[in-house]
Every structure is written in structure tokens, then in C-alpha cells.
Amino acid sequence: MTTDASTRSSRDLPHPRHAEIRLEAVLHALSDPIRLQIVRELAVGGAELSCSHFDLPVTKSTTTYHFRVLREAGVIRQIYRGTAKMNGLRRDDLDDLFPGFLDSVLAAAARQAVRLGE
């Protein structure tokens, strides 16, 4: 039989559930400079931002890849809203699983940015 295309639209994105988020995967996701920068920007104001809002030194393909790594690690949540795809931090899940972790990473990144000359 043909595959049922109606059950799984190409537009819904698989996220790990709360209990499936692994610390090692989160650490790995944050260890890339570009991804860390994305997370830092998402943390400002806690707003949801579209992918195109970010000005990253890589192509669109690579940007998509980095957002996917963050999503599959459980760091961000991605949903389609019309033509744009909005990205938001999964702060609630992360704070529940790893209390204080995200804030300390963000603080450490901010500190280091200052230390290394913005």
C-alpha cells in the first residue's frame, strides 16, 4: 500500500518529550558556538523568533541543521506559524529537569562574551 501521507504532514516537527531529554545531548547541542549564540538570542526576552531573524555566518541549509540539532536535543521548540517557523526555548522543561542549569550557562556565556571583548 502507499504510505499514508495524511497522518504525518511534512510540517509537523518531532520533539523529544520531557522525559526523553538527555543532559549529554543538551550539553552537546550547546557546545557549538553558533548554536550557543542562537540559544542566547532566544533567551533574551523569552520571545519566539523566526529562523530568518538570525544573522548567522553560515548558509540557510546549515542554519536549518543547527536548529534541528537544538530541537532534537530538547533545547528549543519549533512550530510553524504561517509561512514562518517560530523558535522558542523550552525553558519550562529544561528548568524542571535541570534546575539552574540553563541560567548558569547563559550567565557563563554572557560573562565570557564580556571577558573576550563582546
Partner DNA sequence: ACCGTATTACGATGCCTATCGTACGAGTTG
Partner DNA sequence: CAACTCGTACGATAGGCATCGTAATACGGT
Binding positions for a copy of itself, rule: CB under 8 A: 19, 22-25, 27-28, 30-33, 36, 97-101, 103-105, 107-109, 111-112, 115
Smaller CB distance to a copy of itself: residue 4 or 24?
24
Residue 3 binding: pick among DNA, a copy of itself, none (C-beta 5-8 Å cut-off by kind) = DNA
Q: How many CA atoms lie within 13 A of 64 on its CB side?
A: 6
Chain centre distance of CA 87:
7
d(CA 44, CA 73): 20
Binder of residue 40, out of DNA, a copy of itself, none (CB less than 5 to 8 A by kind): none
- 23 touches 74 (CB < 8 A): no
Q: Cβ closer to a copy of itself: 72 or 79?
A: 72
